[in-house]
Amino acid sequence: MYRPLRIFLLVAAVGSAPLAAVHADVFKYVDGSGNVYFTDTPLKGNRYKLEWHREARKLVRKSQQSYVVDKKGRIITARGRVLSGKTKPLSKSLAKRRAGVEHLVQANARRYGLSPALLHAVIRAESAYKHKAVSHAGAQGLMQLMPATARRYGVGNVFDPAENIRGGAAYLRDLLDMFDQDVKLALAGYNAGEGAVLKYGRSIPPYRETQNYVRKVLKYYGAERPSSFIMTAR
């Protein structure tokens, strides 16, 4: 069962970086007490164990957008404009694939302290539950892990549903911890990289692909959840 750890975010440039394009690494460390540290520079000393580090993507301009995802899976702006309609029912083939990994979703949700609805939403958006899916960018499997991410989380066979979901769930858990349990920022980090979200002032980067991805996952997440919820994209 997942037990929350103390999380420390040590990024010197967050909130003060210019809006021009920048690059930055992100490091994850764990100390002897189990505390987790995310930083943009290496930590010195034997007390810190490096778990992984990743180079951030290039950044561009800043944008703002607010919206609500209701219990019907509709995305609605702060002014009441509907951006997308109700989520379509699952096709028989999609429902069958979903049912085939339900036990893995539930197990990893418990292991990493995640909402099963969120895991389902990410898998549906990433691969439509196709365990052999490969993107044009090289992301693979149910949760579309990039090779570097798969290595980071010890995923040996990305096309094995159990390994892929475990790796994707662990990554999503790290992102939620990094961004104070903010689902929208965790999703943006899953798509664009956590470094982009950090260096962009802890907001969703203005990449069209990432903006659309966050909306899509939230739409599916809203359809999975029994009650309405609010997400605000900054």
Q: Write out the catalytic residue numbers.
A: 126
**Where are the alpha helices (H) located in the chain, listed in sequence order?**
92-100, 102-112, 116-127, 147-152, 161-178, 183-192, 194-199, 208-224
Interatomic CA distance for residues 198 and 13, integer angstroms: 9
Please state, as a whole number, how many other Cβ atoms lie within 10 Å of the Cβ of residue 211. Answer: 18
The answer to whether 56 and 196 have CB atoms below 8 angstroms apart is yes
Q: Which residues pair with 37 in a beta bridge?
A: 8, 29
Q: Which residues pair with 121 in a beta bridge?
A: none
The answer to whether 215 and 73 have CB atoms below 8 angstroms apart is no
Interatomic CA distance for residues 27 and 194, integer angstroms: 10
Interatomic CA distance for residues 20 and 2, integer angstroms: 39
> Residue 162 region, left (φ>0) first, then alpha (ψ -120 to 50), else beta?
alpha
Q: Which of 139, 215, 203 is nearest to 171 (CA)?
A: 139
Interatomic CA distance for residues 87 and 108, integer angstroms: 25
